[in-house]
A and B are shown apart, each in its own frame.
Chain A
Amino acid sequence: MKKMFLLSMATLALIPTFLFAQGGAETKKDDKVVIEYWTHEDANRQSLEDRYVTEFEATHPHVTIHITRQSSTKMIELVQTAFAAGEGPTMFNLSINDEYPYMAAGRIAPVDYEAAGYMDADELEKTYLKGMLDPVKMDGDFYGLPLELTNWSLYINKKVFKSAGLDAEKAYPRTWEDVVSISKKLVMRDGDIITRRGFDFRYPYYLESMVPMVEQLGGQLFSADGKEAIVGEDAWVTWLTFMQDFGPNGENLGSPTYKNARSLFNQDNNDVAMCMTGLYQEARIKNDNPTFFNSNDWMVVPFPVFKNAVKDEAACYYGHYLMVNADASDAEKSAAWEFIGYMLSHGEEYLNTVNIIQPTKELMTGEDYHSKPFSDVFAGDFERGHVVYYGANSREIQSLLRTAVESVMLQNTDPYQAYLQLKSSAQELLDEE
């Protein structure tokens, strides 16, 4: 009796040792280096990078690389939780406005120029297009290398246009007012319920795709001196009113609660005619629906502008930069930068297989880029746009914009009230810094 009891107590006591033993096995042995690379999911990029891992491990036998992939929204939370507990991955990538807080908090290691294949910071800077590395520049050093640079333009399904008697080539929207009037012609409903949309916005990416709309009207997210938030009352209220008129409480042309347009676009199911997305979408269309891709039934046109716009702005471009954890060991850091250098040396492959652009001078002026359908449209919009807002609290600003849009579109709040709410909350955030 007593023996049984002592035995079970002993077993319970052994559990912690078992736990620690497991942990011990995971601690890196002296010469072996393990790299944890977290990235977002993309079927095309996955096959490419899995191959790079195999090739790199073959030439670097002491290095093992584990790739973890999550959906892009989950990534943001998971990387942050991991870093908060001191368990961040060795290397990862997020959109710059999500990555910047890490840099600002000193959690990111500077680029190891030699390991990545550059002589020094200057040579690195010269390899890329002007300004592309600015977001990751801090105190003269660079803290990330671009995995992709993306901007969004307007994709159009010509068949849907044709079904309403419109010739997309001639009648594609140049202004936001055009977008609305065309959508009104294309929308199909069953009572209140929309069964086919003309255009729908790219919720919830307000910083990237909707701040430019406000800027077109003369408004600003932050004043130039960085002291005031949500500048330009008229512009903001006009834009919020525009969104309200578009949504379920206005013309009922679309809403954040319907499935996102770009996922539907590939299927060519006659449920959406226009959507806003980047060059990488082409690879996805090709993957999901090769017949549609190869037909002449889709096209890409520049980001629309308001009729009374005071500024010409296209969608903001954002970048995903590969970054390395400052807490990693020196061996891990240099191995990670080497691997990054290796991956990024395949710029054309990334472009051709995944349709993502690494903004090196070489690539942007090369044949591969120019041979992509409508790449000139994207390049043009690139010139018209500027980089997305990145800052320590960009995520919260994104949330605030989301709330503002949702309140006018879904809750029928008065746009002026929504503007006031947005302004006071954003100002609060600004003042906290």
Chain B
Amino acid sequence: MSHKKVYSMEKKQAKWGLIFTLPCLIFFALFSFYPIINAFITSLTNKKALVRTSQFVGFDNYTYLFTKSNGGFSLSNSLRATLTFTIGTFIPMVIVSLIIAVFLMQLRGKSSRGFFEIAYYLPAVLSSVVAAAIWMILFDPPGLINQASNFILRTTGKDFHWLVNPQMLQASTMIVYFWKYIGYFVILFITGLASIPPMLYEAATVDGSSKWHTFWRITLPLLKPTVLLVSVMAMLQCLKTFSTQYMFHQGGAARQPIDVITMNIYFTGIRNGRLARASAMSIILFFVMLFLTLAQFKVSGSDETEY
């Protein structure tokens, strides 16, 4: 008797589970899975934008990407640019936002904390096109950044070539990205910090632990899930970056130093019309992202923390 009841309840669960998830599944099938499979299939052909027919060429596109220069914008250069940008941005972002979050939690007044939260978050409210437009003017040779740099370094009229020198150019894109998203990650950390029961801190103080010691031994380990989540999110976000580099290039900057994979995909596919090759690059990017995400999970260990 009860066996039958359990069985039908299971069936009911399954049925309803599927019903609820169905709309989204259809959506993802149509707008995520189908396109990526299509992209994979296209990458095995020689499809070009304007040519009506295409032929199956197997893995030729992949071989090409790893051996030839793709009209001067090789895949290896893009991988370098993307990884430099990602590592150079997300690591400082995670560290600095953690520091800021910790500092904010030390503030006495709750309203002062709220004020800073809002102020730091403001850049994230702006659209990335607006952010790029503002920073392009700021990085312009007569712009504010040069003036500020000259002021800080006590030089005059020195042009730091923010948009010219390849290393400076990469740094400029990182600065814009950092500026835009730092507040967002500060908030994430604050939430994580706030979810640690204050009891633990009290217990630690009673036990004679110094603030520094408490931070390292208690706060950080408990924060690990949040740190992991924030790092993965920040890293994925950086790997997908496009508009900052694109706007800078449209504004006259060189493409090679900041030719991140997404931009290379866009130009190879849309500007040069080599759709098959661009699709191959997208698949490669997908696997890079997958690999790095899994690696990050592995490195930090996915143990649950118990209070």
The reply, when asked whether chain A contacts chain B directly with Cβ atoms under 8 A, is yes
Which chain B positions have C-beta within 8 A of A104? Answer: 50
> A203 to B157, alpha carbons, bound, how many Å?
25
- Nearest A residue (CB) for B146: A193
Supposing A12-B23, A192-B157 touch, asked if A101 and B252 sit within 8 A by C-beta, the answer is: no
Task: Check if A425 is an interface residue, CB within 8 A of chain B.
Answer: yes
Decide if A101 touches B164 in the complex (CB within 8 Å): no
Task: Check if A25 is an interface residue, CB within 8 A of chain B.
Answer: no
- Nearest A residue (CB) for B20: A5
Supposing A12-B23, A83-B50, A428-B69 touch, asked if A411 and B254 sit within 8 A by C-beta, the answer is: yes
> A107 to B46, alpha carbons, bound, how many Å?
18
B15-55 vs A: 1/0 string, CB under 8 Å?
A: 00001000100000000000000000000000011111000
Decide if A190 touches B142 in the complex (CB within 8 Å): yes
Task: Check if A195 is an interface residue, CB within 8 A of chain B.
Answer: yes
Decide if B50 touches A77 in the complex (CB within 8 Å): no
Please pick, from B49, B72, B164, B253, the residue contacting A421 in the complex, using a CB distance under 8 A.
B72
Decide if A191 touches B271 in the complex (CB within 8 Å): no
Which chain B positions have C-beta within 8 A of A255? Answer: 164, 252
20 contacts between A and B (CB under 8 A): A80-B273, A81-B49, A81-B270, A101-B50, A101-B273, A102-B50, A105-B48, A107-B52, A190-B142, A191-B155, A248-B159, A248-B164, A257-B163, A257-B253, A395-B271, A399-B271, A403-B256, A410-B165, A410-B254, A429-B71
Decide if A396 touches B272 in the complex (CB within 8 Å): yes
Task: Check if B275 is an interface residue, CB within 8 A of chain A.
Answer: yes
A58 to chain B, nearest CB (A): 35
B242 to chain A, nearest CB (A): 14
A83-111 vs B: 1/0 string, CB under 8 Å?
A: 11000000000000000011011110000
Decide if A428 touches B164 in the complex (CB within 8 Å): no
> A402 to B275, alpha carbons, bound, how many Å?
22
> A189 to B68, alpha carbons, bound, how many Å?
42
Task: Check if B88 is an interface residue, CB within 8 A of chain A.
Answer: no
Task: Check if A313 is an interface residue, CB within 8 A of chain B.
Answer: no
A399-433 vs B: 1/0 string, CB under 8 Å?
A: 11011001100110000000001101100110000
Most buried by A among B49, B142, B272, B275: B49
A49-80 vs B: 1/0 string, CB under 8 Å?
A: 00000000000000000000000010011001
Decide if B51 touches A105 in the complex (CB within 8 Å): yes
Which chain A positions have C-beta within 8 A of B256? Answer: 403, 406-407, 411
Closest 7 CB pairs of A and B: A191-B157, A192-B159, A84-B49, A105-B50, A406-B254, A193-B141, A257-B252
Interface size grouping (class) on chain A = 35 or more
Which chain B positions have C-beta within 8 A of A192? Answer: 141, 157-159
Task: Check if A258 is an interface residue, CB within 8 A of chain B.
Answer: yes
B226 to chain A, nearest CB (A): 36
Which chain B positions have C-beta within 8 A of A81? Answer: 49, 270
Task: Check if A124 is an interface residue, CB within 8 A of chain B.
Answer: no
Task: Check if A194 is an interface residue, CB within 8 A of chain B.
Answer: yes
Decide if A191 touches B49 in the complex (CB within 8 Å): no
Decide if B273 touches A410 in the complex (CB within 8 Å): no
Which chain A positions have C-beta within 8 A of B166? Answer: 410-411
**Chain A residues engaging chain B, CB cutoff 8 angstroms:** 5, 12, 73, 76-77, 80-81, 83-84, 101-102, 104-107, 189-195, 203, 248, 255-258, 393, 395-396, 399-400, 402-403, 406-407, 410-411, 421-422, 424-425, 428-429
Most buried by B among A102, A192, A429: A192
- Nearest A residue (CB) for B16: A5
B134-171 vs A: 1/0 string, CB under 8 Å?
A: 00000011100010001000011111010111100000
Decide if B50 touches A84 in the complex (CB within 8 Å): yes
Decide if B273 touches A403 in the complex (CB within 8 Å): no
Task: Check if B257 is an interface residue, CB within 8 A of chain A.
Answer: yes
B272 to chain A, nearest CB (A): 5
Which chain A positions have C-beta within 8 A of B72? Answer: 399-400, 403, 421-422, 425
B59-76 vs A: 1/0 string, CB under 8 Å?
A: 000000000110111000
Which chain A positions have C-beta within 8 A of B164? Answer: 248, 255, 257, 410
Which chain A positions have C-beta within 8 A of B19? Answer: 5
- Nearest B residue (CB) for A326: B52
Task: Check if B224 is an interface residue, CB within 8 A of chain A.
Answer: no
Decide if B142 touches A80 in the complex (CB within 8 Å): no
Which chain A positions have C-beta within 8 A of B73? Answer: 399, 403
Decide if A248 touches B161 in the complex (CB within 8 Å): yes
> A101 to B158, alpha carbons, bound, how many Å?
45
B71 to chain A, nearest CB (A): 4
